[in-house]
Chains A and B, each alone.
With several copies, the nearest count.
Chain A
Amino acid sequence: MTVNHDHIRMVEALLSAAKEPLDEVDLAMRLPDDADIPALMEALEKYYQHKGFNLVKVAGKWAFMTAPDLSWLLQDEKESIRKLSRAALETLAIIAYHQPITRTEIEEIRGVGLSRGIMDVLFEAGWIRPRGRRRTPGKPVTYGITEDFLIHFGLDDIRDLPGFDELKAAGLLTTEPSGLFDELTTRDDPPALDPEEEED
């Protein structure tokens, strides 16, 4: 190969970092004047033709793209991750901070009804579990977080979640506390197990 090795490296770097395919004019503008772009591209195209990604020309522009025979590798991952909805995130956070907690209490804190789907999603993620029943009329089920939750969020212990003051100090909270939930948020002890509660 007679092409300049430095020029090859430059084209490689440019095409690797480019946010869109580059045409030969784009490349010529960035490379030294004596660079023989067509020869470089020919050499590179050949060089990458049997790699996991190839240099391809689409609509007159060059880009590195996954080898067509390997595209199956990228397939099923695309759908495997879902984001939690805001409502689900909030519900999860409330359960984590206030566990054991009943459905009604969650609704009370959020100020809106809890749709069935939300709890389902959190169950599916394996992050919450029923913990027992509150010994109050109706014996409502209480919920808490799971070990998977701790593992996922890298916490040793549920007590490691920052408290209200620390959230504030970290700039995550902007308003003053309402005082409504003082006993829940500012106590420095770990939320003790609800004595009224039977663990299952």
Chain B
Amino acid sequence: MADKGGLFDQQKGFEVDHRPEPPKNALVVDLDGYEGPLDVLLILARDQKVDLLQISILQLAEQFLAFIEEVRKLRLEVAADYLVMAAWLAYLKSKLLLPQEEEEGPSGAQLAERLAFQLKKLEAMRGAAEKLFNGLVTGQERLLRGMPEGVKVIRHSKFDCTLLELLTAYADQEDRKGIRNPLRLMRNAVYSVEAAMQRLERMLGKLPDWVELSAYIPDNITDPFTRRSAQASTLVASLQMVKEGQLELRQREAFGPISVRSKSGETSGSDEEDI
């Protein structure tokens, strides 16, 4: 294709794109320079130098097919969407060339028109993007006050939160859930029921007769949280031991102190050392 140089020149319009310009060697055809098959078609179409709605789709189809042919000669794999486009254009070409048959669906001419329209649309958006960035961009052509003293916008709600922030918060949350089997750090400040039971069992024989349950709580616990958990666990442990027949519990009035003693006739587990 002799017009390759001119073809690449069309890409200069966008200043913000800093992709290195493809080499102008007509033998090197690099698909990486294009934004898909429609982009190639648009660039080819511009060579016809007429309004896109007036272009010869037949000629365009031939150009595209030749282009793909060229690319395939140099490089084996061509992205699937280019091949789909090539196949479709070949189909369109045959439809345009063959005499019109009575059949379902749009005619070749209608399809050609639609393609031209789609190219026109894409071109319009490219032009628009360019104009947008060449317009009165705030921060470039027009600057806001550099040193505002700080009137904040009066929002109509007291809290400032954008939808994006909300979505991001949710997404972060979801992201964290993506971690499987997260490491969980157990709170070791909890005095477990098991520990309370062991202690009760060990101490039972040493304290005869009714003793307040609170006496069984280790007195070296200073952290209030741990202390409360020890109280709760000791109570639960004592209830369990009553159920097992090792203990008797007594409470004389509501909210009054709870006393405990070893059930008569029962031997306690062991009477070794205290803590």
Contact = CB atoms under 8 A, between A and B. Distances in A.
Interface residues of B, number: 84
A71 B142 contact: yes
A152 B157 contact: yes
A25 B176 CA distance: 41
A17 B128 contact: no
Contact of B166 (A19, A92, A174): A92
B88 A71 contact: no
A188 interface: no
B58 interface: no
Given A81-B155, A90-B129, A92-B166, A17 B148 contact: yes
A93 to B, nearest CB: 4
Please indicate which of the listed interface residues A18, A30, A191 has the most CB atoms of chain B within 10 Å of its own CB: A18
Looking at A113, A129, A172, the one whose CB has the most chain B CB atoms below 10 A away is A172
Interface in B80-96: 80-81, 84, 87-88, 91
A74 B143 contact: yes
B213 to A, nearest CB: 28
A62 B167 CA distance: 29
Given A89-B14, A164-B174, A74 B150 contact: yes
A17 B145 contact: yes
Given A17-B146, A81-B158, A179 B175 contact: no
Contacts of A178: 114-115, 117-118, 177-180
A18 B39 CA distance: 43
Contacts of B156: 25
A84 B35 contact: no
A68 B125 contact: no
Q: Is the interface of A mostly helix, strand, loop or mixed?
A: mixed
Interface stretch (B130-138, B197-205, B220-228, B232-240): B130-138
A93 B169 contact: yes
B137 to A, nearest CB: 6
- Max count, chain A CB within 10 A of own CB: residue among B127, B151, B164, B179: B151
A163 B144 contact: no
A154 B143 contact: no
A85 B153 CA distance: 20
B91 A90 contact: no
A162 B142 contact: no
A77 B152 CA distance: 6
Nearest to B117: A178
Contacts of B155: 80-81
B141 A68 contact: yes
Place the interface of chain A in its size category: 35 or more
Nearest to B87: A184
Interface in A21-49: 21-22, 25-26, 29-30
A97 B170 contact: yes
Contacts of A80: 152, 154-155, 158
B65 interface: no
B38 interface: yes
A90 B153 contact: no
A183 interface: yes
A175 interface: yes
Contacts of A77: 143, 146, 151-152, 154
B97 to A, nearest CB: 16
Residue in B14, B142, B156, B166 with the greatest tally of chain A CB atoms within 10 Å: B142
Interface of B: 14, 16-19, 32, 35-39, 41, 79-81, 84, 87-88, 91, 105, 111, 114-115, 117-118, 120-122, 124-129, 131-133, 135-180, 182
Q: Which 5 A-B pairs have the closest CB atoms?
A: A111-B38, A112-B36, A175-B178, A93-B170, A93-B129
15 contacts: A16-B143, A19-B150, A25-B154, A63-B145, A83-B18, A84-B16, A92-B166, A93-B126, A97-B170, A112-B39, A162-B128, A167-B167, A167-B170, A175-B178, A180-B114
